[in-house]
Structure 1
Amino acid sequence: MTALSTVGWAFADTWTITRRDLNHWALRPGTVAIGWIFPVMIALMFGGLFGGAIEVPGGGGYFDFLMPGMFAMTVFFGLENTMMAVTTDAAKGVTDRFRSMPMSSLAVVAGRCVADMLNSVVGLAVMVGAGLALGWRWHEGPGPALAAFGLLLLLRFALLWVGILAGLAAGGPESVTAVQILVWPVGFLSNVFVDPATMPFWLGAIAEWNPLSVTAAAVRDLFGTPGFEAGSWITLNAIPMAVAWPLLLVAVFLPLSVRKYRHLSRT
Structure 2
Amino acid sequence: MSTIAYDGTAVLGRHLRRIRHAPGVLILTQTMPITMLLFFGYVFGSALAVPGQEYRAFLVPGLLAATAANGVMTGMFQAAQDSHRGVMDRFRTMPMSRTAVPLGQTAADLLVTAAGTVPLALVGLAVGWRVEGGALAALGAFGLLALFRFAAAWVGCCLGLLIHNEEAAGQLGSATFVLPLMSGAYIPTDNLPGGLRAVAEWNPISAVAAAVRDLCGNAEPAAGAAWPVAHPVAGTLAWSLVLLAVFVPLTVRAYANSGR
Is TM more than 0.5 here?
Answer: yes
CA distance in 1, matches of 2:57, 2:83: 42
CA distance in 1, matches of 2:241, 2:116: 22
Deviating runs (4+, > 6 A) in structure 1?
none
What is the deviation of 1:130? 1.3
CA distance in 2, matches of 1:198, 1:236: 15
Residue number among 69, 87, 109 corresponding to 1:116 in the alignment: 109
State the partner residue of 2:136: 143
State the partner residue of 2:257: 263
State the partner residue of 2:17: 23
State the partner residue of 1:183: 176
State the partner residue of 2:39: 45
Within the alignment, does 1:12 sit opposite 2:42 as a pair?
A: no
Does structure 2 conserve the Cα–Cα contact (< 8 Å) formed by 1:65 and 1:227? no
What is the deviation of 1:32? 0.4
CA distance in 1, matches of 2:74, 2:171: 14
Distance 1:227 1:56, change over 3 A: farther
| 1:1-267 matched pairs, under 5 angstroms | 8-58=2-52, 60-226=53-219, 229-234=222-227, 235-266=229-260
Question: SS of the residue aligned with 2:131?
Answer: coil
CA distance in 2, matches of 1:69, 1:133: 16
Q: Identity, % of aligned pairs?
A: 38
What is the deviation of 1:239? 1.5
CA distance in 2, matches of 1:66, 1:182: 21
Does structure 2 conserve the Cα–Cα contact (< 8 Å) formed by 1:148 and 1:222? yes
What is the deviation of 1:91? 0.5
Structure 2: gaps of 5 or more residues: none
CA distance in 1, matches of 2:71, 2:153: 8
Question: SS of the residue aligned with 2:259?
Answer: helix
Does structure 2 conserve the Cα–Cα contact (< 8 Å) formed by 1:88 and 1:172? yes
Give TM-score scaled by structure 2 length: 0.95
What is the deviation of 1:181? 4.3
Does structure 1 conserve the Cα–Cα contact (< 8 Å) formed by 2:11 and 2:104? yes
Code of the residue aligned with 2:186 in structure 1: it is F
Structure 1, residues 89-113: CA drift from partner, whole Å, max 9, x if none? 1001010000001111111111101
Structure holding more helix per residue: 1
- Aligned pair count reads 259
Please give the root-mean-square deviation of Cα atoms over the aligned residues, in Å: 1.4
